[in-house]
Every structure is written in C-alpha cells, then in structure tokens.
Amino acid sequence: MNKPEILAPAGNLEKLKTAIDFGADAVYLGGSKLNLRALADNFDNETLIEGLKYAHDRDRKVYVTLNVFPHNEDLDGLEDYLRELYEMGVDALIVSDPGIISAAREVVPDLELHLSTQANNVNWKSGLFWHKIGVKRIVLARELSLEEIKEIRQKLPQTCEIEAFVHGAMCMSYSGRCLLSNYMTGRDSNRGLCAQPCRYKYYIVEEKRPGEYFPVNEDERGTYILNSKDMCMIEHIPELVEAGIQSFKIEGRMKSSYYVASVVKAYREALDSYLENPKEYKFKQEWLEYLMKPSHREYSTGFYFGDKNIQNYESSAYVRDYDIVGIVKKYDKDTFTALIEQRNRVFEGEKVEILRASSDSFEVTLKDMKDKNGNKIDAARSAQMIFTAVTDIELKEKDILIKAKEK
C-alpha cells in the first residue's frame, strides 16, 4: 500500500521541532535566500544546521525552498548557496525556476530536487518532462481534481514521486502566480513578498464618476470576490491515499506553532488509522475538531472534487476561537508543578486544554501560579514570561496549553 509522508511547514526552528514532535515525517522551510516566504523568520545557516540535526536524529527529513522566480540579481551567489545546503545535509530542494534547476544539476548533482507548486504542473506530460531533467518529485498545482491526480500518477513512472497540498490557505491565482500584490503595493508575490490583496474588500469606481464607490455584490453575498477558503481534506484520507499521492503537504510557514501541532496531529492520527486497517477505517470527529481550533478561514475541499464553493464572498476574517496560552518546558512529578512559557494571557484557576502528540486532548486547572522568582501571581500577562502552575494531572515537556478565546 502507498504510505504517504506527512510534510509540515516550518517557519522557524521552534515550528520545525513542533512539527516533528507531533508526527511529521518531513518539514519544508526557507533558508536565507530565494524562498517565497521572505517575511517568515526563516533559517540562517546556524539554525538550519540545528534543525537538520533535530530532524535527522529522529529519522525525519528537511526540504529547503528555493522556489522564487529569480531576477538576474537574485542569482548572485546561487552556486555557493547550493553548495552550502548540500554540505549541511539537506534532504531535497524545492525549486520552480529552470535556471535554478540547471545550476543545481551542475553544482550539486546528487541533491534531490522537488518541483514547486509554483511551476503549476497540471498534467503528466509536464511531469515527465521535469522528471527527465532530474526532478525526483512533482509538487502538483492545487488546481487539480482527484481524478486528474490519479491519471497523472498512473502515467508517470514510479521513480517520479507526486506531492499534493491537503490543508491550508488557497490562492485566487494559479498557485501564487499573481501580479496583484506587485501592482497594488510594489511587493512581488513571486519573490516572496505577497501582500495578499485577494483578501481585501473591493468596490467599483466608474471612470467618469471618481470618488463614487459602488459595492461589488455577487448574488448579494458580499464583496470579497477574490477571497479563497482554506483547504481541508481531513475527511478524505482514503481517497488521497488511493490516488497514489506520496506526500501530504500542509500549507502554513507563516502560521503559529499551535497551528502546526494541531494540523500535523490531526493528519498523522487519521493517516495512521487508515493505514493500520483500511477496511475498518472510520473518520473521527475529533480530528476535525483539532483543525477547527487554531486560526483558519472557512474550509472547503479546494479543487479535489470540482471548483464549487471555494470562495468566501462575505468576509476575509480568520476564525479564531482558541488561543495558545503556553508551552510546558518542564514538569516536577513530586510537586505536580509545571514550568510554562507563556504565549497569551492566562489566569490562575482557569481551565486549559492540553494538546499532546501522543494522546487525546484533556483539561487541567492551573493552580498556585507563580513567576520565575517564586512570587505569587494571579495571571501570566507578559509575553513569553516563564511561570509555574500546579496541576492535578501530570503534564509533559512540550505539551501545548490552549483555551477558548475570550469573548
């Protein structure tokens, strides 16, 4: 049976570790150059080496993105950068531009190449072309249906892997090939600086009536005519596996560690459950609940089953029902005391939910809260402050504390 990997985003070192701790088989990240998330924390050489060690020590993989459409000046130092990544031991490069691919084949011929979704691969002939010039894996465009993906898998050789997005933000243009951001703000989406103007609210201005703004209505549902829903395929794991997709990709290098933990946990548990016993597999509602709590837009299944109902014309706002309030750094079993790093405000006596990689979620009450100096506090209010709290149930290092968002 096809056993796909879970591929998670890693916007920084903490998110890399979170993704791996919660079950990702591989992570993808941006280095210091040529990646499409220029505004993410990204990895310098020092943190990348640390991340590679963390992943490889746990038999996981790290893919580095070089998927911009580079201008001439972007190519300065490319060969040296490719050699650096190879010598560090990255497992693959995610690439889209033929110039970068050509340079990689010349300079680091043994380094595995994955074709980015930015290359908009939507048919098997194109996939075969890229495979013949040295690409090991095709990251399919999001605009494909499940039936099209099945045909691509059937017609490509088994030596050519296919990867597809299964969760996260969608783009109103073909996999990011959009000029709106550059035109409206001067920030080039194809060089990692997208301002997401597709999420703006628009009005019509008639040429001869400047200053008169008319709302854009589509069947009276609203004005966010370019705003895509987020993709969520958690309820369709069997179809994805049977289609032959070899890597399930999660979008979100700009998202929080809580998002990464929740999404990876949901897809890890669902996939493992299906692979363990396909005939007896049943979808569990708790997997969807994991995905409903971190920040997200309204969900759809994207283009997998056709392109209906994938835009949200009413609002571009995120659904934010839960906040991460802390991460457990240490737990003393003798005193039932957790050492916690704060992420959002939390009060003594509050019930919080514990998100843990290896078990179902559960609730605890935070008691006897103190700051790092042992002084009694009624709340952890300062960003990333270290505090302690007593709990009735034993916690573990790396447990994530969440609570319903304050109304």
> Tokens 């908009």 label which residue?
120
Q: What is the pLDDT of residue 380?
A: 97
How far is it, in rounded angstroms, from Cα 172 to Cα 142? 11
Cα atoms in the 13 Å half-sphere on the side-chain side of 26: 19
Fold of 5-172+227-300: TIM Barrel (3.20.20)
- Give domain limits for the chain: 5-172+227-300, 322-404
8 A C-beta contact, residue 404 and residue 363: no
Q: Residue type for 179, please?
A: L
Total Cβ atoms within 10 A of residue 258:
24
Please list the residues that pair with 376 across neighbouring strands.
370
Domain boundaries 322-404, corresponding CATH code: 2.40.30.10
Total Cβ atoms within 10 A of residue 407:
4
Cα torsion through 268, 270, 271, 273, rounded to 10: 110
273 Cβ neighbours under 8 A, 6+ residues apart: 281, 284
Q: What is the pLDDT of residue 40?
A: 54
How far is it, in rounded angstroms, from Cα 341 to Cα 372? 10
Can you list the pairs that 102-110 forms with residues at least 24 positions away whose Cβ atoms lie under 8 Å? 103/75, 103/78, 103/79, 105/133, 105/134, 107/79, 107/82, 107/83, 108/82, 108/83, 109/134, 110/86
Q: What is the pLDDT of residue 220?
A: 47
**CA 265, 135, 130: angle at the middle one, nearest 5?**
120
**pLDDT tens for each residue of the chain, 407 residues long:** 789 999 999 999 999 999 999 999 999 999 887 765 555 567 999 999 999 999 999 999 999 999 888 889 889 999 999 999 999 999 999 999 999 999 999 999 999 999 999 899 999 999 999 999 999 999 999 989 999 999 999 999 999 999 999 998 877 666 666 666 775 777 766 656 677 776 677 667 777 777 776 666 555 445 666 777 889 999 999 999 999 999 999 998 888 899 999 999 999 999 999 999 999 999 999 999 999 998 888 888 988 998 767 766 566 676 778 999 999 999 999 999 999 999 999 999 999 999 999 899 999 999 999 999 999 999 999 999 999 999 999 999 999 999 998 76
Q: What is the pLDDT of residue 284?
A: 96
How far is it, in rounded angstroms, from Cα 275 to Cα 291? 21
8 A C-beta contact, residue 4 and residue 39: no
Cα torsion through 184, 66, 143, 274, rounded to 10: -140
C-alpha pair distances (Å), 57 with each of 23, 62, 106, 225, 264: 14, 12, 30, 46, 19
For 22-72, where are the alpha helices, taking DSSP H only?
Answer: 45-57
Q: What is the pLDDT of residue 314?
A: 65
Q: What is the pLDDT of residue 319?
A: 73
Q: What is the pLDDT of residue 221?
A: 45
